[in-house]
Amino acid sequence: MKGNIISVLLLLLTEILVAQTRISGTVTDAKGEPIPGANILLLNTYDGTTSDASGKFDFTTSEAGIQTLVVKFIGFKEFRQTLDLSASKLEVGVTLKEEVNQLEAVTITAGAFAASDESRRTIFKALDIATTAGATADIAGALNTLPGTQKVGESGRLFVRGGDGNEARTFIDGMLVLDAYGPAAPNTPSRGRFLPFMFKGTSFSTGGYSAEYGQALSSALVLDSKDEEQFSRTDIGLLSVGADVVHTQAWEKSSWAGKVGYTNIRPYFNLISQEVDWVKPPESLEASSAYRQRVGKSGMFKVYGNYNHSNFSLYDHAVGDPSVKVLQDLRNNFGYLNGSYKTSLTPKWSLRTGLSYTAIDNDVSLNALKITEADKGIHAKVAFDGSLSDKLELRAGGEVINHEYQARVDTSTRALGFNELIAAAFLEADVYTSNKFVTRAGGRVEYNSLINQGSIDPRISLAYKTSKNGQVSVAYGKFRQSANQQWLRSAPDLLPEKADHYILNYQLIQHNRTFRIEGYYKIYSDLVKFDDSAFTNNGSGYARGIELFWRDNKTFRNVDYWVSYSFLDTERNYLNTPYSVTPSFASAHNFSVVYKQFFVKLKSQLGFTYSYTSGRPYNNPNEEIFNNGRTKSYQDLSGNISYLPKPHLIIYFSCTNLLGRDNIFGYQFSKAPDDNGVFASRPIRQAAPRFIFLGVFITLSKNKSVNQLPSL
């Protein structure tokens, strides 16, 4: 009996030993490098192990039949393989593929500055625009402290990397704005029409931007408007140059905001003398409205409208004989309407649509001569964004832009103008080879009705992550923009102007510090040229340079500062220049330092901005060499201070050019020489040595969490 029991136990033990299977192998990555510490197990069992320092593993299991081997390791896709455990020993080769994590992956940074509370690569927040000294809450004024821009004080527009002020275009919620700047007197800076607090995000690209954005030769400023507001509030602004009031009404899934503003510079000019001989200083009345409606779980519908009426008049005195003067009078009406809708179609695909309309009417008087301008534009767009996998993202869409312009002089029976229709389609793909490498490739196809021609503009960017916080990017793209309406109205058959962008960029963001260096080369072609008889596209040019940017809000407590430097080498043979020269708006060196410090106990923020721009060329007809003149350098030290005596009240004071430097932007010359054969000259100066601004801003709301603190 005892012998039979032993025999049965031995038989059972033998069957158990026979039923065990030994599983071994090596875990490697796609390059064949071993992966230590990977978790290996059979699905729905406790049998498994981890790989050793050589990536090898070895374990036994008593499971039988068909089983699933699972291998996991952080940063790699899960590996699964079906095994037949009928054999006593199995050798398995495991290759893990890297998992692309969009939040950790490399991003395209060549030419781009993101400003958003949501961007994972933010280096310039939307609030920075409003609080930069010297910018007076003007978007272009603040962006002029970034590398790639040239300070052109008599214009106020964005001049980017050797491009003129018309080559930087503005888009709101993806829709083109025909003219984003208000009217200004000759040789006085204009201001942007839109305030920074309207937007939740700002993307300023100095080159190599997405194929989605066309009709921009040098730069794209993309502004994303805010979604629906959470709380009702009323904001009142009492300014040294006017006043405004904004009321916001919030509901559960929607909000509406309306604004009325009035600006009158006359009282200020009565206190501060001006270089300009004003008859009627600038005056404007503005009204705007914004409605936001959340649709379903992911949809957002937005409508924004803006109307502005402005007018001014002045005497323009002849150079060399101030007694000869021309009365210039301007009345401008600007209307802009923008509607957009975006929603998720599936968990991986979304839809964006938009429609915008711009209407600008100018009535200009030069003594008795009357000139009227009507400038209208319609832009319609539809775009799709989606992901085919974690390594491939697509953006595709189409748009139609209609631009109609007409100018008429009252002494002429014929109007000058054009009606241009541009139809375009774009496609871009982001291919993530790994978390360290991404390629963005695509292009833009356009058809232009004025010249009855189509075009294809390729664009490609690559980025490689050199470390956890640093990366290198390169980009190339072909960009085109219709000729300026000033020339197109006389010669509608002019071709679009073109530019090829080449960009190399390195960026490091770590511990609230940002370092960025970027080099670029631009080749211009088909620039407008003209003489006394004809307009052509025989112009050409180039721009090349290197830029540095450093920002630090970590080293010093409650201090945020940034430093930027741009070097520019550029020449153009365009318009009426006899040969290739550096244009009058271009400066070789631009340097800015922006400093902000918050004083907690004083509930105040103090800011300073220092700007330096090397001398710009100008043409002196008294010299034999064309464009041989050179202005002295431009230098400006501006300051501002914000004080928050109560949570709902903020007092803001700013002053430009604290040192009162006499900055000269160029020279004007008489149309004819005097009896000695000399052309008289007059410097183009600032309208006043300084601009002083004082504002009191009040917020009224039943919700006590709504106050002015975020504006400080």
Beta-bridged to residue 110, according to DSSP, are none
Position 539 pLDDT exceeds 80: yes
Q: Which segments of the chain belong to CATH 2.60.40.1120? A: 2-95
What average pLDDT does the segment 226-232 reach? 88
Query: Residue 617 pLDDT more than 80?
Result: yes
Question: Does the pLDDT value for residue 712 go beyond 80?
Answer: no
pLDDT of 454 > 80? The answer is: yes
- Separation of alpha carbons 54 and 391, rounded Å: 29
What tens digit of pLDDT does each residue of 250-274 get? Answer: 999 999 999 999 999 999 999 998 9
| SS3 per-residue string spanning 168-201 | EEEEECCEECCCCECCCCCCCCCCECCCHHHEEE
CA distances from residue 357 to 168, 334, 407, 486 in whole angstroms, order as listed: 19, 11, 19, 21
Stretch 232-243: mean pLDDT, rounded?
A: 94
Confidence bin at 226 (pLDDT 50/70/90): confident
Average pLDDT over residues 181-202: 87
Which whole number is the average pLDDT over 309-334? Answer: 95
Model confidence band, residue 12 (pLDDT cutoffs 50, 70, 90):
very low
pLDDT for 97 equals 83
For position 19, what pLDDT does the model report?
63
Percent of the chain with pLDDT over 70: 92
For 654-700, the pLDDT digits (tens) are: 999 999 999 999 999 999 999 999 999 999 999 999 999 999 999 99
Per-residue pLDDT band for 113 (boundaries 50, 70, 90) equals low
What is the CATH number that goes with domain 2-95? 2.60.40.1120
Residue range 432-458: average pLDDT?
93
Could you give the CA distance from residue 99 to residue 92 in angstroms, rounded to a whole number? Answer: 21
Evaluate if residue 77 carries a pLDDT over 90: no
Architecture of the CATH domain 112-711: Beta Barrel (2.40)
What's residue 711's pLDDT? 58
- The CA distance from 406 to 425, in Å, is 28
Q: Between these two residues, 108 and 60, which has the higher pLDDT value?
A: 60
Taking all residues of the chain, what is their mean pLDDT, rounded to a whole number?
89
Residue 653: pLDDT band (50, 70, 90) is very high
708 pLDDT more than 80 = no
Task: State residue 107's pLDDT score.
Answer: 60
Contacts (Cβ under 8 Å, ≥6 apart) of 534: 491
| pLDDT tens track for 472-490 | 999 999 999 999 999 999 9
Q: Tell me which of 69-78, 310-319, 352-361, 539-548 is least confident.
A: 69-78
Instruction: Give CATH 2.40.170.20 domain extents, the chain.
Output: 112-711
pLDDT in tens, 605-616: 999 999 999 999
Name the nearest CA neighbour of 360 among 375, 338, 379: 375
Q: What does the alpha-carbon distance between residue 209 and residue 221 come to, in Å, rounded to a whole number?
A: 10
